[in-house]
Chains A and B, each alone.
Chain A
């Protein structure tokens, strides 16, 4: 397969006006990905699938990522003059990035036996702008996985043929894979609570403020048999 840079350039030529960025992955896997812009996503996807040199005809996996509001620290070396001597010092700047949701697709070619190529799309924000174009019309295998992303992350896929919840029931309102999801409280009976669970379970115990910290928990005798 060509390099990511080449694919990016050719895709931009094929889908005129599309903005594509390379998201570098510095980790050991080195799996960098293409961030494609939502407006031209379907055109770019079509190019990736149909281009004779790429033929990425198989979407093996589609998943979501939740990015909360966060701050990115950047350290740059700047030259300054201190007491008449030129010195190089580190300057740290903080940049606030507002949260968004991401859909990630892993593409392979069955015909040409290469891959994966990873593409991403980002929503405008985590609330009313959580919309992305559906790639199910391009890769049929994305259908159920986009439904799963919709169910667990709350991204609405426009153009999806059948966008319904798939794992949780229809009456459910939350999106459990979001990082700010709070699960229902059923901690009334935790035999060995620790860490976060202990904090939540404590609300169900008889308060003993003078003993806080000594978390030796036993079952009260009378209620064991109801």
Chain B
């Protein structure tokens, strides 16, 4: 909402054909309705993402249909599927190559926590070990409606981001990192197995 103008007056003016808005509102309105996702899929969840992009579910209704084949042109990374440890460094690298502001949707049990492969040796237990995630979608796989819901949640988040002031959006703060270290292939596991600046597992206690 635009600040400094009375909401009632604004509506009254609108009725008279005068549209008063703020830079922030206009900017966020434009951003949230043209989110370009990065075009890549990792496993079964990607099939649901493809269905979401096709005509029946039609993500174009929300302005997200322009899947970009290059991270340089993408705003949103939908991590749709199983992230194997062999693939994880490439995902982080792609994320680093995306320009700010950038967002991540972690789609499905695999991308959240490793899902059905959590006890395996070769699957990363959640992409949030290396990059920050904005919206998590549970499910195995989540239905296209769930992805649309996540997309709308993300739009809500973008809409509420401030462009100035102390509580302005993270991507506008120069001290906030927008690139994260790419893990290296180690002898038994990725090195490091998680980025401690990003990943904070809950402490478990026995009661």
Contacts and interface: CB of A to CB of B under 8 A. Distances in A.
B191 to A, nearest CB: 9
Interface string A152-180: 00000000000000011111111010000
At the interface, is chain A mostly helix, strand, loop or mixed?
loop
Contacts of A85: none
Given A168-B122, A176-B122, A197-B119, A215 B206 contact: yes
Interface string A186-226: 10111000000100011011101001001111111011111
Contact of B86 (A169, A174, A188, A189): A169
Nearest to A177: B121
A206 to B, nearest CB: 5
Given A168-B86, A176-B122, A223-B200, A217 B205 contact: yes
Interface residues of B, number: 23
A183 interface: yes
Contact of B202 (A201, A215, A223): A223
Contacts of A167: 86, 122
B189 interface: yes
Contacts of A208: 205-207
Interface in B188-207: 188-189, 193-194, 200-207
At the interface, is chain B mostly helix, strand, loop or mixed?
loop
A9 B194 CA distance: 58
Contact of B206 (A173, A184, A214, A223): A214
Given A186-B125, A206-B206, A216-B207, A172 B185 contact: yes
A174 B122 CA distance: 12
30 contacts: A167-B122, A168-B86, A168-B122, A169-B85, A169-B86, A171-B185, A171-B186, A171-B187, A172-B187, A173-B187, A176-B122, A184-B121, A186-B189, A188-B201, A189-B113, A189-B201, A189-B202, A201-B204, A205-B204, A205-B205, A205-B206, A206-B204, A206-B205, A206-B206, A208-B207, A211-B207, A219-B204, A220-B203, A220-B204, A223-B200
Which 10 residue pairs are nearest across A and B when measured between Cβ atoms?
Answer: A226-B200, A189-B201, A220-B203, A184-B189, A219-B202, A183-B121, A169-B185, A171-B185, A223-B203, A173-B187
